[in-house]
Structures are given as C-alpha cells and as structure tokens.
Chains A and B, each alone.
Chain A
Amino acid sequence: MYLEKEALDFMKNYEINETFFQRFSSGNEGFFSSRRIGNSPEFEEYKDYFPQDNPKDIDWKKYARTERLLTKQYESYSHIKIHFILDISNSMNYPDDKFFYSKKFIALFSYLFLKEQNEIFLSCIGNSFINCIKITLDSIEEIFSGILSERIFNYEYLYNIKTMDINFLISDGWWSKERESILKLLFEKKINFIHVLSNQEINIPYNSILVDSEVNSEMTILSQETIKKYVEKIEERKKFFYERFVKNNLFYFNIINNQPYYYSLKNLLDNLK
C-alpha cells in the first residue's frame, strides 16, 4: 500500500473542515464553482443571477417581491477541485529525497480530500509536462508510484496549467533566474506554494565538494562563515516567499523532511485552522 498504515492511522480522525476551504475562498472571485453539486446543500445567501448560472437556482418568489433575479447560494465543501502541481526536477532528489517525501505528502493530502468527496488532480512539471491526472482513492498507489523525476523544471509549462478551485505547487523553489517569472505566473493563476526543503539543505556538511544536481557545477565549502551566511540566506528566502504569497492573497507553507510527511501535513492543516 502506498500510504503507510501509521500515516492513515495518524490522520484517521482528521477532517478537512470549513475553515480550510474558507481560507482559500476569501478574495477569490468565482471560487468554488463546483460547490452546488453537493447532495444536501444548505441555503446560505442570495446573489445576482448571471447568464452562466443555472436558471433553476433562480428564486422566483424573491423576484416577485424585489423584481431582481436572484439565485440561491448553497455552502457545500464537497466536490471541490483541488490541483496539485509537483516539481519533478532533479533538485527534488538531492541532497536527500524531497521527491519521494513530496509524493507521499500529496498522496496523503489527496486521500483526505477524496474522503470528503472532493476531486483531486495532479500535474507534474519537469523536462516534460504531465497535465491534470485525476486521482481517485483506487489510483493513488498506481499514479504516485509511476511518477519519476526528470532533470530540470521547465517553468513554461506553468502557462499551460489548468487551474482548479484550489491549486498547490509543491517544489523546493530552486528556480534560479526564472524565479520572478515563475512567481508572476503563480500569482496570476492563484497557485499556492508548498515549499519543500530537506534537512541537509539547511545543514550543509562542512569540508565537502557540492555538485549542483541540475547544472553539474562544483563548489567546495571550507568556511564556516559561508555556511552561516547560507543559513541566513535560506531564512531570508523563506521570508521572501512568504511575504510575496501573502501579499497576493495566496498561501505559502514550508515543510522540511526532517519529520514524517504526515506530521508535516498535520502542521500545515493546523496552520490553516
């Protein structure tokens, strides 16, 4: 089984609640377009009718009183489409396995959504592009086991990403010169960012030759001062991402693979409470 028993047991009593969805709906025009498909919708509020709305939702009694075409709004958190976009570039494999960790993380996250009758889609960006695979409870193992890493992260595929109700990019954020272009696209497409870092990435081994996983350049780290500066830069970088995403009403969360992936997921969900 792709998800371990401990992970499922750990999240057994955990449900993705309304607060979670409300966090992603605020300021998001046209959000939750799929919500009305629910089996037992609860009446929430009225809104003006637009041509794309279903005419069946028009409240004719209200029209008789107010002469306005109003449709009934229902709050339902099932059948929401959630889209995970996974960075499968080689940097996700090093210095220790963030790729495997991220796949497990998404799989467990998807499992929680699927339990709540939501729809989950997965896209992968590397040298090539895997677009919107629909994930079901039955296909979790097959899909996630089959995803392999590739050499680089070709950000141009982000242009082709079809956005859903909630979108998450899972990446280590090593985008080099393309960083600003990628951020611009993420903000435009309302894609949230789950920033994965590895423990070794924060604690560089002293007196070692580091080889870049994507461009194969080498560097020897001999000075403790350099390591100290590097740690400071990492923190600055996390802060930078956080501030930029918050400013754009998007969600940023940093996870580190020094703990089991289900702990990281729980932390993320707790953070959204």
Chain B
Amino acid sequence: MRFLNPFFLYFLPIAFIPMIIYLIEKIKRKKIVFSSLELLEEILKDEKKKFQLNIFLKQLIKVLILALIILSFSNPIIEKGSDFSNFAVVIDPTLSMADFDIREIINFLREKGVKKFYFGNKEIEEKIIYEKNKDLINLINSIPENKIVLITDGQKSNFKNINYSRKDLTILLLKHTNTNYFFKNIEIFPEILTKGSELYIKAILNSKEELPIFVYLNDKLIYEERTKILEKFLIPDQSILLTKNRLTIKFNTNDFQFDNEINLNIYFMPKMKIFMDLKDISIKQYIMKTMRALFGDIEETFDINTANIAFVSRFDPNARGLIYTIPDNFENQKVSFIAKKDYSGDLTSELNLKIENFSLKSVYEVVANIYNLTPVVKLVDKPVIYRIRDNYIFTFSIKENLKEVSSASFFPIFFYETIKNFYNPQEKHSISEESVFEFFTKEELKKYFKVIEYDKIEGSSIELFLILLVIAIILFLFEIFN
C-alpha cells in the first residue's frame, strides 16, 4: 500500500489526542468518598446489559476513527502486481510530455524492478529536455529491446506506423489534465509582401486570459505584448529578407507546450512581375487591379520567363511559375455561383511556395447555364475568373452570411486557407481524454496494443478511500449509540 497524498500523514498524531486527553483526565481525577454507590451500581448494571464498552476501548475507537479519516485523506492505494521488471521503458521525448512529473513515474517503475530506461531512443540522462516535432514512432522502432513499455500521452503520434512485429509493446498512457492554450484562429494577409505593404496578422487565443505574446521575424523579436488577441502591425523594413522570411508567433505558459508556437513563411518581393497573355483589356484591368490590391507595387512584364505570375488564355504545361489560364470566351458566359467541393493537389512556384497535399476549401466555381441553382454567395463586384489546372476560380468581393470574407481576389482566400491548413488549431479547451489522439482514438489504441492507463495502474485508490471512510463512520455511529 502507498499513499498518494502522504502530506496528510503528518496529521496522524492528531488521532491520539482523545487518548491523551483521557490519560490527562485520569491523572487529574480525584478520589471522593461518597455516601453510597448503591444507585450508581444499579445504573451501571443496567447499562452493562446494553453491551457497555470499556472506557479505554472507547478512547481507542475514537483514535481509530480519527486515524482512519486522516489515512483516507492520504489517499492510500493498493498496488496491483503489474510486472514491468523484464521490460525496457521508453519515455516519449516530445514536448507535450513536459506536462508530467516524469521523474516520479521513473522512480515508481524503478521500485517495480525496471532497470532500463530510454528517453526517446537514447538512454535517460540526468537532465530531461523535451523536443518538439520528434517522431516518436521512428524512435520506438529503433529501440533494440523487444519488450517495451512506452510512457506517452499519445499526442500527435501515428501509432499506425509502428512496427507491428513488436507484439510486446505496452503503452503506459498518461492523461493530461492541464488547460491547453493555443491560437484558436490565425489570419495572415498578404503572404507575399512587397515594398511598403502592410502585414496583417490576427491571432486569437482560446483563453480569455491575457498572455505575453512574442512575434519573431527570422528569430529577431519584433513585437511583444500581453494580450489575448494579436492584431495588425507593420513589419519593419530593415528586418525583412528578400524572398523567404520566417515569422514565429509564440507565448509563454506552463501548459501543454506543443501548441505554444507557430511558424509561418512570409515571402517578400520588391516588385511583383505579372505576365498577361490576354486579349480582353477589361480582364487585364481587373487582374492588374487585383494584383495591385494584393502586392502593392506591381509591374507588367511581356516576357513570361521573367514573370512571377502569368495569366494566359492557353495553358502551357511546360511553363514555369504560377500560371493561370483564362478562357477566351469568358465574357460571353452566363454564370451562376455555387460553392464548390474541396480542391486538393500540389502547387509550386518560383517564389519557393511549395504546398504539398494542399486542400482548398470554399473555392467558388462558375457553373455555366445552371439557373435553377440557388446562389450561396452574394456577388458584389463583377468577377474576374481564373482557371487553375482544370478548375475555374474567380476573384470577387462577397459577403457570406453577411460577414465579409474577402475584399479582393481569390488570393487572400487562397492563402488564408493555405495557412489555416498549415497550422490547423483545433477547437479544444483542455487536453483531456480523446482530444490528443489524432490517429487512433483511445479505444482503437487499446485494440492494437496493451494499454495501461497510468492513474489506474495501482488499483482504485478511490475505493480504498471510501472503504476507510465508511469504516470510520460505522465506528462513529457505534460510539454514539453505545
């Protein structure tokens, strides 16, 4: 038996107070010669018939009642014999594990006979440093021992990729109880900056609490404020690099730290060069207007090889760069607008913008001659329609459910969705139970592996607590009615 709250054991001497009082009273007691004990003997004789307890025994029961109450508060637990002595223990080294007192768990397992401990795939050292973005599954696969107990919270680990030939893997699952802070919603616009353009960032914490938020550009602190909503600010020109920049937003808490930091890429172009192989002047004007709204300083180039973005009426599969095709007969089409299903695929450009497996939601497609479909978006401006691969995309200003989504071209939506996809905060308020399991639910995890929940490893402490309390109450009632 162990005590989870041994602090309360310090109060155990309190249990002896009734006995001490009894002994002091006994010492202080005086002898008095009394006329006759005739009546008193008669009374005690009656009481003896009702199972009169010895006075000393009564004091002992009082001591026992107090001792049991104090012991129950110490939360005693009975250890059930989970035998890990022949196992190597692997501790998940990812950052989310910093939430737990891993030393206590290690000591507990040492007492149970475990000799070999790994932190990731390295032997454990004095100082434990957790790392983010570590691939736990690869680490496990590289452990030489076959009998492994993995101590993990299961967070963000794809157990589907584990080497299933290891049938002796036991997962000792830790349960998060902390509140998890994370950015609930992040918007960044535009992703490609040009000279003098303003970077707009909106990052909202999931908590009403204000936390110190830090913004770094290329590891240099450019912004610091205690807030719950990070809003628009200008990036100082001198700190921005040509082409790719790394923007880091983070805050300091002692919570589940995996989500405390996000990294975004910002692209800087001093001047955006646009190639337009289009006959229709009005479309060209729209494109120019849109591009200027997006990138500020733009320049039309007549050499497709020097362009950053090209708009063409005929798609050339060999062309480099980000190329959009516009149908020649675009202007004559009569269209209505409905929401299109999600798009996905790869997208590359010379701006080092490489997005794999990108998913583009809420992209709107022009569907010709289908008048009986109900529009879900309200058209404000005349659309400019683009085609990406085999799909049509258009620029517009819309209001969806009376909430403005965008005021310019598809790019804000496109980048917004891309960024959202890159960092996809989940709506969760605390790390509890299933919220950490991305690839398996906990129940599924139990199907494939032997899973022991750490807080249940030693049997039910609550039951023992209740048993002690019930005994104390029974003794108390016995004492009262005697």
Contact = CB atoms under 8 A, between A and B. Distances in A.
Contacts of A233: 39, 42-43
Nearest to B37: A212
Interface string B27-62: 011111111111111111001000000010000000
A210 B40 contact: yes
Contacts of A221: 40
Nearest to B31: A209
Contacts of A218: 31
B33 A219 contact: no
B25 interface: yes
A38 interface: no
A220 B27 CA distance: 13
Given A91-B35, A198-B35, A201-B35, A219 B40 contact: yes
Given A94-B34, A95-B34, A219-B44, A237 B39 contact: yes
| Chain A facing B: main interface SS | mixed
A249 to B, nearest CB: 27
A220 B35 contact: no
Contacts of B34: 94-95, 201, 204, 210-213
Contacts of B35: 91-92, 94-95, 98, 172, 174, 198, 201, 213
A174 B29 contact: no
A217 interface: yes
Interface residues of B, number: 20
A200 to B, nearest CB: 8
Contact of B36 (A176, A207, A209): A176
A218 B40 CA distance: 11
A226 B44 contact: yes
A211 B33 contact: yes
A214 interface: yes
Contacts of A273: none
A61 B38 CA distance: 63
B43 A230 contact: yes
A205 interface: yes
Contacts of B32: 95, 205, 208-211
A217 B31 CA distance: 12
A227 B109 CA distance: 60
Contacts of B25: 207
Interface string B1-35: 00000000000000000000000010011111111
A95 B39 contact: no
Contacts of B29: 207-209, 220
A205 B37 CA distance: 14
A222 B55 contact: yes
A12 interface: no
A196 B426 CA distance: 91
Contacts of A133: none
A234 interface: yes
Nearest to B28: A207
Interface of A: 91-92, 94-95, 98, 172, 174, 176, 198, 201, 204-205, 207-214, 217-222, 226, 229-230, 233-234, 237
Given A208-B32, A217-B37, A237-B39, 14 more contacts: A94-B34, A94-B35, A95-B32, A172-B36, A176-B36, A204-B34, A207-B28, A208-B29, A209-B31, A210-B32, A210-B37, A211-B31, A212-B37, A219-B44
